[in-house]
Amino acid sequence: MPASDVREAGQSLPAYRRSAVDVAASLHVDLAHGLSSEEARARLERDGPNALEQEPPTPLWQRFLAQFKDVLVILLLAATAISAVLWVFERDAALPYEAIAIAAVVLLNAVMGFVQETRAESAVAALSEMSAEHAHVWRDSRPLRVPSTDVVPGDILIVEAGDTVPADARVIESAALQTGEAALTGESVPVSKHAHPIAADTDLADRANMIFGGTIVTYGHGRALVVETGMRSEMGRIAGMLTRVPVETTPLQEELNRVGRTLGVVVVIIAIVMIATIILVEDVRGLRPLLDVLILGVALGVAAVPEGLPAVITAVLSIGVQRMARRHAIVRHLRAVETLGSASVIASDKTGTLTKNEMTVREVVTASGRVELSGTGYTPAGKMTDVDGGTVTGALRTEVERALTIAACANNAVVQQRDGRWIVDGDPTEGALIVAAAKAALDRAALERRFSRIEEVPFSSERKLMTTIHTDAESRDRLLIFSKGAPDVLLSLCARELRGDEATPLTEERRREILHANDALAGRALRTLAVAFRALERREHAGHFDDRVERDLVFAGLVGMIDPPRAEAKEAVRRARRAGIRPIMITGDHPATAAVIAAELEIAPEPQAITGAELDAMDDAVFAQAVRQAPVYARVDPGHKLRIVRSLQADGAVVAMTGDGVNDAPALKTADIGIAMGRTGTDVSRRAADMILADDNFATIVAAVEEGRAIFSNIRKFLRYLLSSNIGEVMTMLFGVLFAHALGLRAGGSGLILPLLATQILWINLVTDGAPALALGLDPPDPALMRRRPRSRHDRVVTPRMWRGILFVGAVMAASTLFVLDLSLPGGLVPGSGSLVYAQTMTFTTLMMGQLFNVVNARSDERSAFHGLFRNGWLWAAIVSSLALHAAVVYIPVLQRAFTTTSLSLRDWLICAAAASVVLWSRELSKLAARAIGSRSSGQP
């Protein structure tokens, strides 16, 4: 019977709310004998393998071709085709230089993008990698080892510590069974499992009689009845969410597409108007004159479209990615870099992100008072102080040392240093107790030498206790019973309490005080354990030990522990707030724990959290209002996380979602930028994310935001530069043709004469647009970036203020360039005496130098170009290299023939430089006027 039919056969309740016998009956399996091999094969054939569906990988050739979908790239390809066709008709050069150059730029951009994105995300494949390779099942009345893919609903799993659970299963037997579910539910400590039905509907994290596929058995052993496999399991449900999440475009991508479409329309309109005007005014007839007019159209297209823009953006993002990597932020998806800089919300997981995912003992309460322990995580560094920060002495120290001795001895974990990090092999709670003992100067090796363990009564979820029996090297006639467990349970087994060195009677009033102290610890979101002991004369017991020794105990104290916040996380939260970013916490952990951690980190003004159950009860309007205000969400599942992220996005937020678990993967993929943990994160979360934190440090997120803002600011700088420079080229060509007679240009027998040749325009775009624009992408970040609010999702990358500056600079550049053209030709408004080749070379040089002056302008729309003029050495190197390359075109004979240039004198260079510098001085005056009248644009670099 398929697992999906378990609740259809007259059973309306889920498996965790019913008895194991009832669930087995629904699945038609005998708990004593298990499935027969024949029945298992039949179910496998009917229900399919216990595996997650995977989308077929995209072929490499398709990934490569996808690089050519950009609107700008399509425009360039069209220009390439037209230029190549015209060259076939014209044959006016040895090679089609325009077509070759444009194709080379497009190919370079495609290769760079392909290399950056060739490792496409494969989160569903990573989920499969988490599955156990083999499973132990009870079939045909005997244990069998089978491939995990062959596990079917109705199989009885046999699990023990260290096993990966292959499928979702209902626990039928538990011997101290615990599983680590942090990757699935966000629960920071192992979860104890039992076989009893749960009376009410509950969240995934609270289904203590269920074990889930992909989680790890950390302690004990047991048996469980498989109820869901493959895509029907909780892991499969997450995989399904991942496949349904659409791929979102970033604001930068959307803006570049808009700019591309705008430029395309402008080019077509200008070309049509110009061609129609020339044909009518010049009375163009015949094929050759028509081809000359079409060449003009190509030249205008080349002038309008910034060929280097896609490649420069890719290169700048790549360099930014490398710079982020040096700050431990590894970006997987190149174009998502700028999104991080505009993030307005950081929706952070708690466990392993804001906290260390390492349990830490913070307080120990004994009869004489309370002590605090400093330090976080498993590093055995810290000190023990009293509540006033003083040294712990006297009876209090004796009691605390005795309590931590018990905790360290009734313990099966091992704390060791590996690859420079302290880690725990075993239960994290037990590891925390060992570290706490070390902080109290109790050496575990010395304790083990004195208190040699001879037997253990293991922990069970029913007893909620663990007891170990030890010899005492200092008293060979006695044994010592060390117990630890749930405070209410252990306290009921105690008859006395440790005060100093003596055991005194435990009164009812004192019991109430201890339980009150336990509640106070729990109120601060500390997980509590009690420890107790008693001495046993050897002659009193000579046989096997069992839980009957857990009586007449001496209560030693309470231990309070927590997965603590990272030390640097609080300042990171403050920096985020100063930058206008709203931090929120979304976790699967307990609400009390989440609320206390959030309040401690100043994410929330007071310790309170909204639970997943409360979210389920809200309609869409109430939900949207809650998400707009509430900073902390606890006991949420993947569906809740997705809904929260989407609600934030619908409200206009740019969401950066952080997480480390499998349960975070769908939200990571849906968020504007998903950020996974590199150390503690699962492979699933890393592959679903756009960025990975190599050091798992929340503070690195804020550093990455700063880098992202700097990258975006620099992208705006070179967009300002490229667009104004190319508009200057368009205006030069446009007005050069419209006012050809006034400027001294004449139509000769070979057709229409242009101010510049298409190859010259393309050379300017490739040489002056490329290196200087790339150098602008390396401009040092403005210190004020992190004091500005993030830009809105709806803000344009190229703002109206930027467009005004771009058009102004383009007009000035065209005017100064055409002035030099007129000056260099006989006739026109200004008398000259040069040849056409000389005049075009002077025009070519002036326009090129005007763009080099413009690159200094483009560093800000409001600050003077002389502010921090020499901070960017790369920019000056780019300017010098561009001048050198242009000089090569002007003076090297072979390049002179290719680009139709002639040598210039020093006087010529000075004239070109003086005319080109007008771009700088005019823009400085406009900025000065703007600053004077206070027309400052908020958030503008």
Just list the catalytic residues. 349
The Cα-based distances of 313 to 68, 102, 109, 318, 800 in angstroms read 15, 16, 9, 8, 21
d(C-alpha 937, C-alpha 661), whole Å: 41
First-to-last CA distance in the chain? 65
| Residue 436 and residue 404 in contact, taking contact as beta carbons nearer than 8 Å | yes
SS (H, E, C) 448-505: HHHCCEEEEECCCCCCCEEEEEEECCCCCCEEEEEEEECHHHHHHCEEEEEECCEEEE
CA dihedral 627, 629, 635, 640 (to 10 degrees): 0
Q: Given the structure tokens 């949207």, which residue do they identify?
A: 624
CA distance 788 to 577: 10
At 218, is the secondary structure helix, strand, or coil?
A: strand
Q: What does DSSP say about strands 345-348 and 582-586: parallel, antiparallel, or unpaired?
A: parallel
User: Alpha-carbon Rg of the chain, whole angstroms?
Assistant: 37
Per the CB < 8 A criterion, the answer to whether 151 and 161 are in contact is no
Structure tokens that stand for 768 in this block: 């002056």
For the purposes of burial, counting CB atoms within 10 Å of the CB of 765, is it exposed (0-12), middle (13-18) or buried (19 or more)?
A: buried
The single-letter DSSP state of residue 577 is H
Residues 289 and 501: their CA atoms lie apart, in Å, by 111
Which amino acid belongs to residue 921? W
- Strand, helix or coil for residue 677: strand
**Tokens at residue 5, please?**
């039919």
Sign of CA dihedral 858, 861, 866, 870: negative
State the residue for tokens 């408004």. Answer: 829
Treating both helix axes as pointing N-terminal to C-terminal, what angle do 97-117 and 758-767 enclose, rounded to 10 degrees? Answer: 30
Rounded CA-CA distance 772/34 in Å is: 73
Give SS3 for 701: helix
* Closest of 348, 354, 366, 325 to residue 513, by C-alpha: 366
| Helix, strand and coil in the chain, % to nearest 5 | 50, 15, 30
Assign residue 652 a region (left: φ > 0; alpha: ψ between -120 and 50; beta: otherwise).
left
Question: Residue holding tokens 């293991």?
Answer: 458
At residue 217's C-alpha, the angle toward residues 213 and 218, to 5°, is 145
DSSP 8-state secondary structure symbol assigned to residue 636: -
How do strand 384-386 and strand 210-211 relate by DSSP bridges?
unpaired
CB 835 within 8 A of CB 821: no
Going by C-beta distance under 8 Å and a sequence separation of 6 or more, which residues neighbour residue 133?
147, 148
The torsion region of residue 66 among left (phi > 0), alpha (psi -120 to 50) and beta comes to alpha
Q: Which residues make beta-bridge pairs with 143?
A: 138
Residue 761: closest CA among 841, 840, 885, 844: 844
DSSP 863-929: S-TTTTTTS-HHHHHHHHHHHHHHHHHHH-HHHHHHHT-----HHHHHHHHHHHTHHHHHHHHHHHH
The answer to whether residues 368 and 399 touch, using CB atoms and an 8 Å cutoff, is yes
